[in-house]
Structure formats: C-alpha cells, structure tokens
Amino acid sequence: MALLVSSPHVTYPSPSSISHIPLNSKCSLSSFSFQRTLYSSRRLQPPLIVASHLCTTTGTTTTTTTTTTVDTSLLNVAEAFSEDQLWAASCLRVRSFYNFAPTAYAIHDHKRDLAEREFEALKERVAGKREGFRRVSCINATLPLSELSSFSDDLCAECKFSDNGEDRVVVGTLDLNQCLRLPDEITGMKPEGIGADFLRAYLSNVCVAQELHRNGLGYSLVAKSKIVAQDWGITDLYVHVAIDNEPAKNLYMKSSFVYENDEPAWQARFLDRPRRLLLWIGLPGMQL
C-alpha cells in the first residue's frame, strides 16, 4: 500500500520571485492535502499541521513513481522521542510535502531552512508547548540503513538517525494530536459535551517516502496511532482527507474510518486548496 500524505506539492521559486505562490505538496499517508502559501515576506511559512495524501499530483496529472519492496519484518513503528529522530522525521516531511525543481536557486539551503522550521515546531508540539494541544506524539516508521542504502542514497542521507548504535532511516511519519480541533480544518463532532478535549484526537503530517509506497507502511503507521491514542484514553480519532485523494481515502476506509463531514466549498476556495473530507473512527475505551 502506498504511503503518502495528501498534502500539495511545491516547485520552489528563487527567493526574488516569492510573492503569493500557492504550494502544492506530494503524496503522503495521514490526513489529506493541505495547501500552504508563500507570503511576500520572502520567508516560506513551513507546514506545521498538514493533512494527509497518498498520491503525487501536479494539477490533474498523476505522477508515477517507481517503488521498491522492502523486508517489513525489519520495520519498527514507534513514538519518537530523541531529537535525532525528530530531525529525520522533519526532513522526510520536507522531502514529501514539497517538489523542488532541479534548477531551483539554493535548493539545499531552502530544504534545510524548511526542515529546521518544522523541527523546531515539532519539538514545541511534542513538548506540550503549543497552545490548543493537550498532547502530541510523533510516530515514525523506520528501517535499518543497510536495508535501504542500495537503492536510495538521497533518502538515507536526509532521513538517517542513530538508535542505540544502529543507523536507521525514517521512512514514514505522522503526528497524533490530542485537541479539540486542528487549525483551518473541519472540527470533529464526537464526543460531545465536557471532556471532548481529552477524548478527541486527530492525525496530521502523515507521509511515507515515495520510493516505499505499496509496502503497507501507511497501514502500520495508522495502526500504531490507534494503539497510542487508546493508551491516552482517546475515544474518537479523526483524519482529514482531500476529497479527490482516492488512495488515501481507501487506506483510511480499510482502516475502519468512516465519513462524518465535508468542508464547505467556500472554505476550500478561501484557503486555496482541494475540499476536505473528515473521517472518524471510534476507539474502545480505556480498560480500568
């Protein structure tokens, strides 16, 4: 199963040309596409809370990417706590959510700037310092470097970290957010009443390395997020999906999410992005 979030893809302009340019992001797994915008300050606003996607699109054209089968018995899906692993996850998000033209000006500087911004924002969220979020966990899917080094030097170089002396690579990532709502997204309706901020959570920033789509990594990330959410006492888990992102919708539906609501057309136009669906799954209550 392909593993990519439904965020838009972006071709990076030179710094002198940035004014008000809609960003299009790649395919990733968690929620669906989240369109970001470059502002006239010439500083790119990084993706902090991104919906998910599963396919790479440019306009109405779908881009086909060659994928590689890996030994998933070596896969580890777990919450990330070390700064090395959070940095690797941030790099994968930049790699997944943006498309850089080969001739772009200072491309490596742009990538590093984006990664540093997401890294600082991710550390803030995980540390519980982001207002409006009770708890945030970064969940990563990782594989040994030795399993990947033969076919993707770029992925290994950008998303590598060390874990107890072993070199591993972040190949998929998402955030689990315990909160009432995500910025600029449809708000879930369950549960109602007092305590909703304790019992409701959302998936965001879901993505999988494009070379490794169709290895079931998306399913593994979503399954792990359900386990962590249950441990937190979450009863209602949500994910936002672009209405035209069939691969991501299929992934969530097969993971037992169901339709709850959709974004008004006027809101999608205002935010300059594809309309979103809001999908929901109920989780068993905590065992006391």
Q: Give the pair of three-digit tokens for residue 276.
A: 């979103």
Rounded CA-CA distance 60/163 in Å is: 41
Q: Give the pair of three-digit tokens for residue 194.
A: 């007092």
Rounded CA-CA distance 142/137 in Å is: 16
**DSSP-based three-state secondary structure for 28:** strand
Beta carbons of 122 and 173 less than 8 angstroms apart: no
Q: Which of 12, 98, 252, 259 is catalytic?
A: 252
Rounded CA-CA distance 175/256 in Å is: 19
Picking from 148, 98, 141, the residue whose alpha carbon sits closest to that of residue 118 is: 98
**DSSP-based three-state secondary structure for 2:** coil
Q: Label residue 28 exposed, middle or buried (CB < 10 Å: 0-12, 13-18, 19+).
A: buried
13: left (phi over 0), alpha (psi -120 to 50) or beta: beta
Residue 16: phi and psi, rounded to 5, are -70, -15
Residue 64: phi and psi, rounded to 5, are -95, 130
Q: Label residue 233 exposed, middle or buried (CB < 10 Å: 0-12, 13-18, 19+).
A: middle
Q: Give the pair of three-digit tokens for residue 30.
A: 């968690």
Beta carbons of 118 and 48 less than 8 angstroms apart: yes
Q: Which residues pair with 6 in a beta bridge?
A: 27
Verify whether residue 252 is a known catalytic residue: yes
Catalytic residues: 252
